[in-house]
Amino acid sequence: MFAILINIALVLLCSEIVSSSFIDPQICNQCSEEFRNNSCETFCEEDRLAGCLGQNLTSGCFCKSGTVRDLDTGECITICQCSKN
């Protein structure tokens, strides 16, 4: 029971962090993701990023979720969303 309460507290805390207007310049505020401060080409498949290369996005990406940060909005978007834009 205690573990369930801890999990609920963590979810609420993460929700607050994600909804915060503050965007750490080094980290997209998403829970359970490790930011790779390297070029996407180094860690991710280049063909999946082809639609992103001409847009105003960070060169780093979340490899586990395939997410990059839009520098104009500060929001994290998926590579698929980026490719469709």
pLDDT 10s digits, 20-59: 334 344 444 333 334 444 444 444 444 444 455 445 555 4
Q: Report whether pLDDT(77) > 60.
A: yes
pLDDT score of 39:
43
* Segments in the chain forming alpha helices (H): 2-19, 40-43, 79-84
Provide the CA 21 distance to its chain's centre, in angstroms. Answer: 15
pLDDT score of 3:
60
pTM over 0.85: no
Mean per-residue pLDDT over the chain, rounded? 48
16 SS3 class: helix
